[in-house]
Amino acid sequence: MAIQGGLELNEWLNSFSTNTRVIAGGLDGRNLMKGDLIAFKSKPPFLKETEGLQILPWIADTKRLYQVERIRYLPGREFSLLNQASQQFMTNAQFTIQADSDRMGYRLKGPLLRLKKPMELISSGVTNGTLQLLPSGQCIVLLADHQTTGGYPRIGHIIQADIPSLVQQAPGTIIQMIPVNMETAEKINKQQLQYLQQLKNACTLQLHAYHRY
């Protein structure tokens, strides 16, 4: 939910989002509870002096922004270290999101993935969407609160356009992951950015029309 002008919340690292691990941001760094009151920073324009709160009958079409049929990824630097059976599985992989997933990472459960041979790697840079193979043979997708480096094999990276779709999925959801190349990932990302701009333009036109009346 977004409110024009913002809400009275605690700022942390230039953000008002909540990080429960360090108890910072948002409303006292904790989850919202029934009965909590959050004030507006300034009176939003949709609060009319004589009419009070108005619920406008507009619904933005966001269906094209989220899709649950498949999550696409780019094979990572260490993908080739997987054995043949594991590489074959990752051409059309299905995983279940685990209950202990959080903003640091989504833990996935599927068939055990194995490397061609045991090895230790030097810690290297990771990013939002990096798919790492854990020593247990299961995977984790690093998300918004991820660390900056990691020593586990980076077998893939969720494409930027599909990260919002992934993080909307609840624990217990089965996701299907499909590999794509860089050209396809860039094309999908460009299409998403174009649609977001169209959506923004439509919202701006609606607000301008509303303010005229």
Q: Are residues 3 and 98 in the same domain?
A: no
Residues 6+ apart with CB under 8 A from 86: 113, 114, 115
Predicted local confidence at residue 141, as pLDDT: 98
Q: Is the domain of 83 the same as that of 181?
A: yes
What does the DSSP assignment read for 123-177? -EE--TTEEEE-TTS-EEEE-TT--SEE-S-EEEEE-GGGHHHHHTPPTT-EEEE
DSSP string for 49-108: TTTEE---------GGG---S-EEEEE-TTGGGB-HHHHHHTTSEEEEE-TT--SSEEEE
Judged by average pLDDT, the poorest of 72-76, 88-92, 123-127, 206-210 is: 206-210
| Domain-located, residue 98 | yes
Identify whether 200 is part of a domain: no
Percent of the chain with pLDDT over 90: 64
Place of tokens 């997708």: 141
Please give the residue range of the domain that contains residue 76. Answer: 71-185
Number of domains in the chain: 2
| Pair 125, 24 in one domain | no
What is the C-alpha separation between 159 and 206, in angstroms, rounded? 32
Q: State what percent of residues in the chain have pLDDT above 70.
A: 91
pLDDT bracket for residue 213 (50, 70, 90): low
pTM of the model: 0.80
Whether residue 109 lies inside any domain: the answer is yes
Domain assignment present for 199: no
The reply to whether 75 and 143 lie within a common domain is yes
Q: How confident is the model at residue 63 (pLDDT cuts 50, 70, 90)?
A: confident
Could you tell me if residue 128 is inside a domain? yes
Q: What is the pLDDT of residues 132-158, one digit of tens each?
A: 999 999 999 999 889 999 999 999 999
Q: Is residue 53 part of a domain?
A: yes
Note whether residue 192 is domain-resident: no
Both 104 and 179 in a single domain? yes
Q: What is the CATH number of the domain that holds 151?
A: 2.40.100.10
In this structure, the answer to whether residues 53 and 76 fall within a common structural domain is: no
pLDDT for position 208: 77
Q: DSSP 3-state assignment of 116?
A: coil
